[in-house]
Amino acid sequence: MSLEVPSDLGMVGDAVELVASHLPPGALSPRRLSFNFRTAFAEALGNAIRYGTGEDPSKTVRVRVELSPDAVRIHVLDGGRGFDRGTLPDPTRPENVDREDGRGLFVIRHLVDDVAFSDTGNAICLTLRAG
């Protein structure tokens, strides 16, 4: 499944539900689908819209979902310049508790089985193992 999502944060929920509703039964356990998949995908898509496209209405974010017998992979690609993951602050350190940046990727990493980024940092692939 592939789709282009307008650069509008108001579209995140609809895009997540559209993709979730098209996953075949049993691709993920009900809990992983209802919480892990939806939350991680929404966070990745929201980040792409907010930071990658700057919420520019003339831009879109591309999403591709791959299904295999053992996993669901969600690719999110924006047209932005990307970012350096090494520059994000660790949100668990006391001096960063009040900062808002870096939390989304922290959450994503704890909800999916694998996270991969493009070299330029403008694409992310989330992998959730089946079951």
Among candidate residues 64, 66, 72, 65, the one with its CA nearest the CA of residue 130: 72
> pLDDT category, 39, cuts 50, 70, 90?
very high
Residue 67 DSSP SS3? strand
Which DSSP category does 28 fall into? S
Among candidate residues 41, 32, 36, the one with its CA nearest the CA of residue 75: 41
Instruction: Delimit the domains of the chain by residue range.
Output: 2-129
The pLDDT score that the predictor gives to residue 9 is: 97
The pLDDT score that the predictor gives to residue 82 is: 80
- What confidence tens digit (pLDDT) does each residue in 61-108 have? 999 999 999 999 999 999 888 876 677 667 667 776 676 666 788 889
Residue 58 DSSP SS3? coil
The span from the CA of 21 to the CA of 12, in Å, is 14
Please say whether the structural domain 2-129 has been given the CATH code 1.10.580.10: no
Instruction: Find the helix or strand (DSSP H, E) in which 128 lies.
Output: strand 123-129
CB atoms within 10 A of CB 4: 12
Instruction: Find the helix or strand (DSSP H, E) in which 39 lies.
Output: helix 38-47
Cα 68 from chain centroid?
A: 19
End-to-end Cα separation, the chain, in angstroms:
20
The two three-digit tokens of residue 59, written as one number:
């831009």
